[in-house]
Amino acid sequence: MAGIFGIAALAGVIAGPATAAMTAWAESEGGRVRLIALPADADGKISAALQIEPAPGWITYWREPGDSGIPPHISITPDSNVTLAGIAYPVPKHIEAGSLRDFGYDGPVAFPLDLTLASADAEPRFDAQVFIGLCKNICIPFQADFSLTLPKAAQSAAQEAMIIETARASLPEAPGADFAVTGSGLAADHKALHLSLTLPEGGDFPEIIVTGPAGYVFTEQQNARREANTFSTDIVIPKLPKRFKAETARWGLLVKSGRRAMETTLAFE
């Protein structure tokens, strides 16, 4: 499963030409990756996805990979007629291998991308560089370069649309009436984060992933208690960077309850 980066050399590849709004796969020992995009809408917004298929036994990573790994990164070249507004992350798995814990995906996954057309008059094309981590017994940083030209006019793109729609459906939901944070606060010594939640019907104790400073992920719970749809727990925070200002920082929270997942941001000011 996960290992230490540096054991394997960087793998890189230039993908072949795009077919319609889908690039060819860029392949490595640990899996393959490609870009998919739909034509721009009337406002110049482009729905797209970064699709990764790890090879059997391999994994790829969430935005906070855990003890090892590299989160997916994509950059658009400055001379492209497209800008990247953001990348979204499907609900990850908590993957353990010995003493290592990772957060990622052990099967095919697609990360939705929000792109914007810079100019309606120029050719709707872009060049992108993708950098991901793929891990088994060793970890391979994998880099691939892509070029994609989008059709200006609407055309049949059922396969691309289905992949992107499925990717968006795999994202955690926003807080709602039956699934939300009702209270949160840091312990005075910053060794715990108290959470009160409203949870969906059914299910047992939720899995909770808290992210604070970059590279830190917290999952251990203490004093967990559920009564009907009300849940409270303390997330253990064993260590923080010395200069990290916990009270003014924005903390990420992902809660998995049954077949649903909710993601939000916590702020204590």
189 Cβ partners below 8 Å, 6+ apart? none
- Express each pLDDT in 190-249 by its tens digit: 999 999 999 999 878 999 999 998 889 999 999 999 999 999 999 999 999 988 888 888
Q: What is the mean pLDDT of the chain?
A: 89
* Maximum pairwise Cα distance, the chain: 59
Secondary structure of residue 35 in the 3-state scheme: strand
- Express each pLDDT in 114-153 by its tens digit: 999 988 777 788 999 999 999 998 888 999 999 998 876 6
Where would I find the beta strands (DSSP E) of 88-175? 93-97, 100-105, 109-117, 125-135, 139-149
As given in the structure block, the two tokens for residue 149 are: 């030209």
Q: Can you tell me the distance from the alpha carbon of 74 to that of 86, in angstroms, rounded to the nearest whole number?
A: 10
In the chain the domains, ranked by start, together with CATH numbers, are 11-169 (2.60.40.1250), 180-267 (2.60.40.10)
pLDDT band at 185 (very low <50, low <70, confident <90, very high): very high
> In angstroms, what is the C-alpha Rg of the chain?
20
DSSP letters of 240-258? --TT--TTTSEEEEEEEET
**pTM exceeds 0.85 for this model:** yes
209 Cβ partners below 8 Å, 6+ apart? 92, 94, 103, 217, 218, 219, 252, 253, 254, 255, 256
pLDDT band at 183 (very low <50, low <70, confident <90, very high): very high
CB atoms within 10 A of CB 266: 17
